[in-house]
Amino acid sequence: MNAHAPEPKAGEVTPVDAAVTAAEPAKKKRRSGRLLLMVSVPVLLVAAGGYFYLTGGRFEETDNAYVQQAKVAISADVAGRITAVNVSENMEVHAGDPIFAIDAEPYEIALEQANAALGTARVNVEQLKVAYATAERALKAANDVLAIQQSTFDRQDSLVKQGIASTATLDTPKLSLQQADNAVSTAQQQVNNAAAALGGKADIATDDHPAVKTALAQVSLAERNLAKTQVVAVTDGVISQVASLNVGQFVAAGTTIASLVETRSSWVEANFKETQLSGIHVGMHAEVMVDAIPGHAIEGTVTSIGAATGSEFSLIPAQNATGNWVKVTQRIPVRVDFDGDVSAELLRSGMSALVSVDTGANTLERMTGSAKPL
């Protein structure tokens, strides 16, 4: 402290005291403004957040979505060695176009054998018809002999009854009558056997006989197998994974050796979170943005909603019965079909996409039940 400075008199206001007194209202004012700011900013943020939450939620979006196209596994219906390959990788084909050919010689031989067996079956049926006719004639002849023997026996029996002939004279006519009766029974059995061989119908058409029908079926099968040696495209699309198609390679029946991607029909499989599904229904309008086509929105419609989560269809579904689990929000596949024709050149199966579904109501409308049906 300066020894020469004069001491202030009682009741006198010094410059320092005046400055402190003037600063106190300013500090109070700044504190009030700061407090108001600290309170108002959170309130405004909460209000803004609540507004956007309640007025939002009309559009449900997900970027876990992929373009899908039907894929057909190409395989041979018959086994054999490949003799020709008519396609190359990623080649566009149309329904009926040849893909590859299998050695047809074994199946041509099988067809000839089936035709030969058919001819044999027809001949056998004709022989059965002849045997039936022969059996009927033999039965008629046996009946005629039986009638003659019966007449002879009756005459001799009448003479015995009149006392003209002895009883011993009946032995020979009686034996002949029994033999004739046995012959008729045998002939009748032969007729029955011949009729049974013809399926119970003596006038059956040759090709209606079971044996001939079996042979006809074998011929049809052989013709089908021969036709299947030419493997053709079942629909329009693009051939892929044809690296294993080589001339001289042996392929087994049913073995997948190539794939055909159907480019005519495309859709999007969007995997929405389970918490998003409450407002999504079949028939709602959707907008699809494919990553490979930036700036181009494709209109679509929700056509189906999956019956289970994706994890349920996995090879090894999760087992949570032990209690050692972490809750993870599951996703449900939602199919979105395009409203119009989309160029096949633009889309490829597996492309990533962003899907936005218009639910027609925001969060507030859904909470209050004032949402209008689309």
pLDDT in tens, 241-286: 888 788 999 999 988 889 999 888 889 999 999 888 888 899 999 9
Could you report how far apart the first and last alpha carbons of the chain are, in Å?
86
CB-CB neighbours of 324 under 10 Å: 7
pLDDT band at 372 (very low <50, low <70, confident <90, very high): low
Task: Write out the H or E segment, with its range, that includes residue 269.
Answer: strand 256-273
What is the per-residue pLDDT across 130-154, written as a single tens digit (0 to 9) for each?
Answer: 998 898 899 999 999 989 988 888 8
107 in Cβ contact with 229 (< 8 Å) = yes
Q: Please give the average per-residue pLDDT across 194-216, as a whole number.
A: 88
* More confident: 50 or 229: 229
Joined together, the tokens standing for residue 201 give 């119908």
Domain 106-225 has CATH 1.10.10.60: no
Q: Which amino acid is at 80?
A: G
pLDDT band at 83 (very low <50, low <70, confident <90, very high): very high
Residue 309, pLDDT score: 82
Residue 356, pLDDT score: 92
Question: Residue 280 and residue 204: Cα distance in Å, rounded?
Answer: 65
What is the per-residue pLDDT across 60-72, written as a single tens digit (0 to 9) for each?
Answer: 889 999 999 989 8
pLDDT band at 32 (very low <50, low <70, confident <90, very high): low
Q: CA neighbours within 13 Å on the CB side: how many for 213?
A: 7
* More confident: 370 or 125: 125
| Domain spans of the chain, in order of start | 56-69+263-314+328-368, 73-103+229-256, 106-225
Domain 73-103+229-256 has CATH 2.40.50.100: yes
Joined together, the tokens standing for residue 25 give 């209202």
Which among 238, 143, 137 has a CA at the least distance from the CA of 191? 137
pLDDT of 21 above 70? no
Residue 371, pLDDT score: 54
Residue 363, pLDDT score: 60
Residue 288, pLDDT score: 92
Cα torsion angle, 212, 218, 221, 225, sign:
negative
Angle at 352 between CA 351 and CA 354, to 5 degrees: 135
Q: At what angle do helices 210-227 and 105-162 cross, to 10 degrees?
A: 180
Q: What is the pTM of this model?
A: 0.65
246 in Cβ contact with 99 (< 8 Å) = no
Residue 1, pLDDT score: 44
Say which range, 217-221, 316-320, 347-351, has the weakest mean pLDDT.
Answer: 316-320
Which among 153, 148, 138, 152 has a CA at the least distance from the CA of 185? 138
Average pLDDT value over all residues in the chain: 83
Say which range, 156-160, 192-196, 299-303, 320-324, has the weakest mean pLDDT.
Answer: 320-324
123 in Cβ contact with 256 (< 8 Å) = no
User: Which CATH architecture does the domain made up of 56-69+263-314+328-368 adopt?
Assistant: Beta Barrel (2.40)
